[in-house]
Amino acid sequence: MKDDPGLSAFFAPATRLMDRLRYPRKMALMAAVIALPLGVFLFLLVGQINSAVEKALGEKAGVEYSRRVAALVRDVQLHRGMASAFLGGDPSFGPGLAETEALIEKDMAAIDEISALLDAGERWPELKEKWASVLQSYRWAGAQASFEAHTEFISGALSLMTHVADVTNLTLDPDLDSFYLMDSVINKLPLAAEYLGRIRGTGVAAAMPGGLPQGERVRLIMLAGLARAAMDDVEANMLKALAVNPGADGALRASFAEADSAVKAALATLDEKVIFSSEPSAGAAEYFAALSQAMDKSYALHGAATESLEGVLAGRVEALKRKRALILGGSAAALLLALYLFGGNYLSVTRALSRLVGASEKIGRGEMGVRVPLETSDEIATVGRSFNEMASGLEKAVAELRRSNEELEHFAYAASHDLKAPLLAVASDLKLMERRLRGGEAEEAEAAELLSDALAQLEMMQAMISDLLSYSRVGTAGRPFKEVDLGQALERAKDGLRVSIEESGARVAADTPLPRIKADPVQMVMLFQNIISNAVKYRRGDAPEVRVSARREGEEWVFSIRDNGIGFPAGDRERIFELFARLHKDRYPGTGIGLATCKKIVERHGGRIWAESEPGRGSAFHFTMPAGEDPRELS
């Protein structure tokens, strides 16, 4: 993870806050910050849907109201027509009038029922009163006055219908299909029916004994035109609504076709029997029936349009409810899923952390082999990986420490043990001398012998201590590696051994040219000197032969130093490299530290050292050195 300073500065306050919180709180905080505005948004959205549902339901109630008012209007229109005929002098309409009044009673009861649910104001009670007065007066007022009173009542009912449409939002309906259907149901169709009703009521007088009053013919022509225009509007509305929503058809088209042809037929009857006829050729009943047929059909059309409108509104309510359920259900599911994920995340984090804690505790108790299982692929796995690397490093370091501690213990043990031997010898020499001197029995020669023995032991100790010092300094006082010409190193080693080489008449020579490698120059001379001095020391007879050679093997050089000395048993080839190991203690002087020092030097350079020999047949010492440009320094 990169640390961008700009980003870090930007997120600093949030980072400080998160640093202070435990995981459940962190997650609760983030969830709250996201959920709050989302909740408000959801609340508003659902509120909006609810009010749209309310409005649509209100519109449905308005449609139902208009259906009932339309039924009332229809029956009042019938009553008006019958009253006109009855008052015009045709008593056969008498029973029909009474029946229709009973129907109107029922229509009004139905409107009373729904008025309680809808706030239609004072208009409805006023209208009822008006009807009561129409009923009281029409029989005595004369045909003309009755017609006008009925017509005024009907106008009031129609305006109640539009008022209720306003109150219930029908007028401002937001969708095209329902808007055009509403326009037909509330405005155009009732108007068309009313024009037809007036034509029926007015025209029927033509068949009466008094005939058609003056000027009524013109009024009828005008009404016929208005009825036709209203039907055209109804058709246009229907076509527009069905273009937007073909599913709203139902019985609409068929019903319109029937109404349209019935209206055309009725208007043709009007033309034929009333407008263009000077003599009434038809009875009032026939004319009345033709107009009534047209009105029935247009009320049937009104019913079909009302049903279509109700269907559209119900569909809208359903769609809104579905949308609301989808939004609420989806939000609930998302919320549950988020909670589920938060829980999973919390467990994942705490589990990964407790694995880390468990592993650290085990390592703390000394179980160095413990590693954290990397079961996640997030940032915690990165921590786990570094933890495991650290544990491996620690394990290695502990092993190395243990090894060097053992080495140190061994070294201390060997050093104290082997240094004690000459010291004890000196002490016993001196005690013996003291006893002899006190007893006065000492002879000078014996004392001198004891003293020189003690001195020899002390020299031995000195040699051991100085050898130990150079052994211990191989690691600590080594010089940096640089390019060393090993041919020259060999010459300098020989120089250092000149006295013993000359005394023994030894021949020391390189069989092959020696390479240049990167190494500690002083330690290279020391290495050659130790091995060659042994070859000279452990010689067999005179004129020892020491041959040095080098050969390349892959990435390293292998050096060999062979002699023709006394050799040693093959079983001791490893022991001779241990500290203070000496195979020929009695016959040869030595400290047993030389080869241990050689081993330490070679290993510091990244190489190995080993020996081959057989007693009486000479020995060969081999060691390797990395040939690379940059041999690693191994302490």
Query: Judged by CB under 6 A, which stretch of 6-14, 227-235, 331-339, 576-584 contacts ligand ADP?
Result: 576-584
For ligand ADP, which is the closer residue by CB, 157 or 566? 566
Choose between 45 and 620: whose C-beta lies nearer to ligand ADP: 620
In the complex with ligand ADP, the residue whose CB is nearer, 421 or 581, is: 581
* 567 is a contact residue toward ligand ADP (CB under 6 A): yes
Q: Return the residue of 171, 269, 298, 619 that touches ligand ADP, per CB under 6 A.
A: 619
Q: Which of 426, 450, 486, 566 touches ligand ADP (CB under 6 A)?
A: 566
- Which span sits near ligand ADP by CB under 6 A: 206-214, 249-257, 495-503, 583-591? 583-591
Q: From the list 62, 190, 311, 594, which residue makes contact with ligand ADP (rule: CB under 6 A)?
A: 594
Residue 345, number of CB atoms within 10 A of its CB: 13
Q: How far is the CB of 537 from ligand ADP (least distance, A)?
A: 6
Q: Is 415 in the site for ligand ADP (CB under 6 A)?
A: no
Q: Rule CB under 6 A: say whether 154 interacts with ligand ADP.
A: no
Judged by DSSP in three states, 632 sits in coil
Q: What's the full length of the chain, in residues? A: 635
Closest distance to ligand ADP from the beta carbon of 531 (Å) = 7
529 lies in the site for ligand ADP, by CB under 6 A? no
Where in 535-554 is the site for ligand ADP (CB under 6 A)? 535, 538
- Quote the CA–CA distance of 223 and 229 in Å, as a whole number: 10
* Token pair 């409005």: residue: 55
- Window contacting ligand ADP (CB under 6 A); options: 10-18, 80-88, 390-398, 580-588: 580-588
Stretch that binds ligand ADP, among 155-163, 200-208, 312-320, 585-593 (CB under 6 A): 585-593
Tell me which of 77, 237, 564, 591 binds ligand ADP, using CB under 6 A. Answer: 591
Q: Is 422 in the site for ligand ADP (CB under 6 A)?
A: no
255 forms part of the interface with ligand ADP (CB under 6 A): no
C-beta closer to ligand ADP: residue 191 or 602: 602
- The residue among 403 and 575 lying less far from ligand ADP, judged by its C-beta, is 575
Cα(157)–Cα(182) distance, rounded to whole angstroms? 17
Nearer to ligand ADP (CB atom), residue 316 or residue 582: 582
Residues 3-30, buried b or exposed e (16+ Cβ, 10 A)?
eeeeeeeeeeeeeeeeeeeeeeebbeee
**450, 485 contact by CB (below 8 A):** no
- Sign, CA torsion 318/320/324/330: positive
Q: How far is the CB of 579 from ligand ADP (least distance, A)?
A: 8
Q: Does residue 581 belong to the site contacting ligand ADP (CB under 6 A)?
A: yes
Q: 306 with 52: CB under 8 angstroms?
A: no
Q: Is 583 in the site for ligand ADP (CB under 6 A)?
A: yes
Question: Could you tell me if 531 and 564 are in contact, meaning their C-beta atoms sit under 8 angstroms apart?
Answer: no
Q: Is the dihedral of CA 80, 84, 90, 91 positive or negative?
A: positive
Q: Is 93 in the site for ligand ADP (CB under 6 A)?
A: no
Q: Please spell the DSSP secondary structure of 3-47, one letter per residue.
A: --HHHHHHHHHHHHHHHHS-HHHHHHHHHHHHHHHHHHHHHHHHH
At closest approach, how far in Å is the CB of 507 from ligand ADP? 15
**What is the C-alpha to C-alpha distance for residues 590 and 537, in angstroms, rounded to an integer?**
10
SS (H, E, C) 120-178: CCCHHHHHHHHHHHHHHHHHHHCHHHHHHHHHHHHHHHHHHHHHHHHHCCCCCCCCHHH
Q: Which residue is nearest to ligand ADP (CB)?
A: 590
Q: What share of residues in the chain are helix, strand, coil (percent, to 5)? A: 75, 5, 20
Question: How far apart are CB 364 and ligand ADP at their closest, in Å?
Answer: 42
Min dist. Cβ of residue 593 to ligand ADP (A): 6
The verdict on 414 binding ligand ADP (CB under 6 A) reads no
Measured distance CA(74)–CA(295) in Å, rounded? 8
Q: How far is the CB of 608 from ligand ADP (least distance, A)?
A: 17
Tell me how many degrees the CA angle 13-15-16 measures, rounded to the nearest 5. 65
For residue 89, CA distances in Å to 215, 285, 566 come to: 20, 13, 167
Helical axes 23-88 vs 94-115, angle rounded to 10°: 160
Q: How far apart are CA 41 and CA 31, in angstroms?
A: 15
Binding to ligand ADP, residues 440-499 (CB under 6 A): none
* 606 burial via Cβ count (<10 Å: 0-12, 13-18, 19+): middle
Q: CA 582 to CA 585: how far, in whole Å?
A: 6
Nearer to ligand ADP, 188 or 494 (CB): 494
Residues contacting residue 41 through CB under 8 Å, at least 6 positions apart:
none
227 contributes a contact to ligand ADP by CB under 6 A: no
Instruction: Indicate whether 194 belongs to the interface with ligand ADP (CB under 6 A).
Output: no
Residue with token string 């047209």:
294
User: Considering the rule CB under 6 A, would residue 418 count as an interface residue with ligand ADP?
Assistant: no
For residues 111 and 576, which CB has a smaller minimum distance to ligand ADP in the complex? 576
| Binding status of residue 421 toward ligand ADP by CB under 6 A | no
How big is the site for ligand ADP, counted in residues (CB under 6 A)? 21
Render 246-269 in DSSP notation, one character per residue.
Answer: GGG-TTHHHHHHHHHHHHHHHHHH
Question: Is residue 592 at the binding interface for ligand ADP, with CB under 6 A as the rule?
Answer: yes
* Stretch of 333-341, 402-410, 453-461, 592-600 contacting ligand ADP, by CB under 6 A: 592-600
Return the SS3 of 558.
Answer: strand
Interacting residue with ligand ADP among 565, 604, 607, 623 (CB under 6 A): 565
Q: Which residues bind ligand ADP (CB under 6 A)?
A: 534-535, 538, 563, 565-568, 576, 581-584, 590-596, 619
